[in-house]
C-alpha cells in the first residue's frame, strides 16, 4: 500500500473533492484521481462517492480515513527519526497572517526554503482564522491574543501596542481618559472583539462600538490617520505615524495586555520536525530586526 495514496485519500476526504485536494497537494487532478483509483483497487472497496459537486466518504471510507491518517503520520515521524538531522523533505503548508506576514514571516519562510531545498513550502497569506484540520494546514501563525481552543500553541515572540487616534479626531471628539470612556467614542475594529487594558494588575475589558471594520492592521492604521476613530494597534503599525504626528498615543496609564505571535498546530502526540524547525527560525528572528531585514534582502 503506497503511502502517497493514503495521504492523497486523506486530503480528498478532508477537502471534499479531487480539485481542492489537488490544490492542497500541489499536483494535477489526474494524479490525485490515479492514486485514489489504485488505492480503491488494492482494497477492493469504494472509499469515496464522487459527483459533480465533489466527493463524500462512503461508510467504508469513513472508517478507513482515520486509519490512513494515523499511518501517514506515523510514517512521517519514522522518517524524521532516521533522516539526517538537517534534512527536511515533503511539504509544509502554513497559514500566515496578511498582517505582519510579508514583513516578518515571509523572509523566514524564504530562509527555510533556502536551507532545505527538498522541502516544498505552501504559504497562504490571510488574516482569516483558518481551520487547520478541515483546510489541510500543517500549522498557522497567528498574531495578538489567542482565543481558547484545542490547538497546540507555541509563542515565538512578544507583541506590544497602543490605543491611538489622529490629532483631528481628538480636536473634534476629545480623548478618553479611562478605558471606560472608549464606549462613547467611534472605534476602528478588526472584529467584534472586546478591548482589554491594564489598570495596574487589574485587567479592564470594554466592548467598543464603531462603523468601520477591517481585517488588516495596516488598513486600520490608515483609517485612524484619516480621523475615523480610535484604534488599538501593534506598535509596528503606528510608531512611524506617531513619530510623524499623524497619530497620538492615548491612555498611557492603561496599556493593552502583552500579546504575542504564535505557531499553532493541531493536537497530536508528535509535532513533526518541519514545524519545530520553522518555529525555531521564527523565534530566532522575531526580535532581531536587523537579522530579519538582512534575510529580506538576502541574495546568493
Mean pLDDT by 10 residues, the chain (300 residues): 86 85 84 90 89 82 87 74 68 88 90 88 87 84 77 88 96 96 94 88 93 89 97 92 97 91 80 86 84 69
- Whole-number pLDDT of residue 132: 85
- Whole-number pLDDT of residue 230: 97
- Whole-number pLDDT of residue 185: 96
Residue ranges of E strands in the chain: 48-51, 54-57, 90-96, 119-125, 139-144, 152-159, 161-165, 186-189, 195-199, 202-206, 209-213, 231-234, 248-250, 259-265
- Whole-number pLDDT of residue 205: 94
Joined grid coordinates for residue 126: 490571510
* pTM of this structure: 0.68
- Whole-number pLDDT of residue 268: 67
Distance CA 9, CA 32 (A): 8
- Whole-number pLDDT of residue 172: 96
Distance CA 141, CA 108 (A): 12
- Whole-number pLDDT of residue 55: 82
Amino acid at each position: 500500500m503506497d503511502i502517497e495514496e493514503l495521504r492523497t485519500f486523506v486530503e480528498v476526504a478532508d477537502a471534499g473533492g479531487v480539485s481542492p485536494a489537488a490544490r492542497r497537494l500541489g499536483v494535477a487532478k489526474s494524479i490525485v484521481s490515479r492514486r485514489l483509483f489504485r488505492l480503491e483497487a488494492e482494497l477492493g472497496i469504494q472509499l469515496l462517492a464522487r459527483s459533480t459537486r465533489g466527493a463524500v466518504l462512503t461508510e467504508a471510507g469513513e472508517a478507513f480515513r482515520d486509519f490512513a491518517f494515523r499511518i501517514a503520520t506515523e510514517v512521517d515521524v519514522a522518517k524524521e527519526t532516521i533522516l539526517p538531522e538537517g534534512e527536511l523533505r515533503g511539504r509544509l503548508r502554513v497559514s500566515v497572517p496578511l498582517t505582519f506576514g510579508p514583513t516578518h514571516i515571509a523572509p523566514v519562510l524564504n530562509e527555510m526554503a533556502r536551507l532545505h531545498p527538498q522541502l516544498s513550502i505552501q504559504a497562504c497569506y490571510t488574516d482569516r482564522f483558518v481551520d487547520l484540520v478541515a483546510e489541510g494546514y500543517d500549522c498557522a501563525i497567528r498574531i495578538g491574543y489567542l482565543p481558547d481552543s484545542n490547538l497546540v500553541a507555541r509563542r515565538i515572540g512578544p507583541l506590544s501596542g497602543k490605543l491611538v487616534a489622529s490629532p483631528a479626531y481628538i480636536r473634534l471628539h476629545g480623548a478618553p481618559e479611562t478605558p471606560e470612556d472608549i464606549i462613547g467614542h467611534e472605534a476602528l475594529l478588526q472584529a467584534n472583539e472586546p478591548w482589554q487594558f491594564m489598570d495596574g494588575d487589574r485587567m479592564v475589558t470594554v466592548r467598543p462600538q464603531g462603523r468601520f471594520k477591517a481585517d488588516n492592521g495596516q488598513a486600520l492604521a490608515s483609517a485612524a490617520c484619516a480621523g475615523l476613530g480610535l484604534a488599538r494597534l501593534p506598535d509596528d503599525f503606528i510608531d512611524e505615524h506617531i513619530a510623524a504626528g499623524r497619530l497620538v498615543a492615548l491612555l498611557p496609564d492603561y496599556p493593552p495586555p502583552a500579546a504575542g505571535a504564535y505557531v499553532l498546530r493541531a493536537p497530536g502526540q508528535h509535532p513533526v520536525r518541519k514545524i519545530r524547525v520553522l518555529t525555531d527560525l521564527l523565534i530566532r528572528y522575531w526580535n532581531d530586526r536587523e537579522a530579519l531585514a538582512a534575510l529580506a534582502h538576502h541574495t546568493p
